[in-house]
Amino acid sequence: MFLHMIWLASFPRSGNTFFRNVLFEVYGIPSSYYHLGKKKKLDPDFASFPVVKTHLLPHQLPAEYQSAKSIYLIRDGRDSSVSLAHHRKEIKKLKKSYLLNLFEVILGIGGSFPGGWSRHVTDWGNNASITIKYEDLINDPITQMERLRSIIDLPEPQIDKLPTFQSQKKGFSRYGSGNTKNTSKKKIAANKFYRKGIAGSYKDEMPKYFQLLFWLKHKKQMKIYQYYKNN
């Protein structure tokens, strides 16, 4: 029985959905979500779940739950920014080019997250109970998930049920394929939601001048979490 809710926080496109799928499929633990968006329905029972996903900053959460323990997922901000820019254009259907979306994501303007990636990382990095790097999560998900035993009771993992990037992209997982029960629609939604899932994809999708802009804006936090200019 879960007595206390735990936040699962991340800047968008940092492995939150993969984490939730591993948690559900391997450990049998469901999760909910919390947001402030007007176009997406809020789960009224979110606090009854053992784990709750959010992209909000700590101070934006309900006051009564701000002291709850938390897991923070962090990904190389360049990869997150590229993925979020594509997400805004292709899934959110914002009528802006990919490069304009990327520019706004990097600077945290135009309806993107205020302050951008480093603001999010700074606020959560100083509050999280456990911080997990996306790159470590995709390389060895079970080892990273087992770290949660310090804050939550986990059953023994059913490793044979571990989801893969491809199984999620085909719509076989609980999260990331929309709310529809229609198999074909789930597959279409999942195929759009899961793009590449690899580390370092920004090298092919972020122009050099944007890489420089990102580094000038976010280099302090990048260095703290050992993401370097040329890696």
Determine contact, residues 13/84, Cβ cutoff 8 Å: yes
Tokens of 22: 């591993």
Domains and CATH numbers, the chain: 6-224 (3.40.50.300)
CA gap 132, 130 in Å, rounded: 7
CB count within 10 Å of CB 24 equals 18
Q: How far apart are CA 19 and CA 162, in angstroms?
A: 11
What share of the chain in percent tops pLDDT 90? Answer: 68
37 exposure class (CB count in 10 Å sphere: 0-12, 13-18, 19+): exposed
* Segment 102-119, tens digit of pLDDT: 999 999 998 778 889 999
Separation between Cα atoms, residue 198 and residue 116, nearest integer Å? 21
Average pLDDT, the chain: 88
Q: Which of 101, 105, 124 is nearest to 225 (CA)?
A: 124
pLDDT-derived band at 178 (thresholds 50, 70, 90) equals low
Written as six digits, the tokens of 223 are 């260095």
DSSP per residue, 83-135: HHHHHHHHTS--SS-HHHHHHHHHHT-TTS-TTHHHHHHHHHHTT-SEEEEHH
Which residue's structure tokens are 């260095």? 223
Under a CB-based contact definition with an 8 Å cutoff, are residues 8 and 130 in contact? no
Q: What tens digit of pLDDT does each residue of 148-166 get?
A: 999 999 999 999 999 887 7
Confirm if 225 and 121 have CB atoms less than 8 A apart.
yes
pTM higher than 0.85:
yes
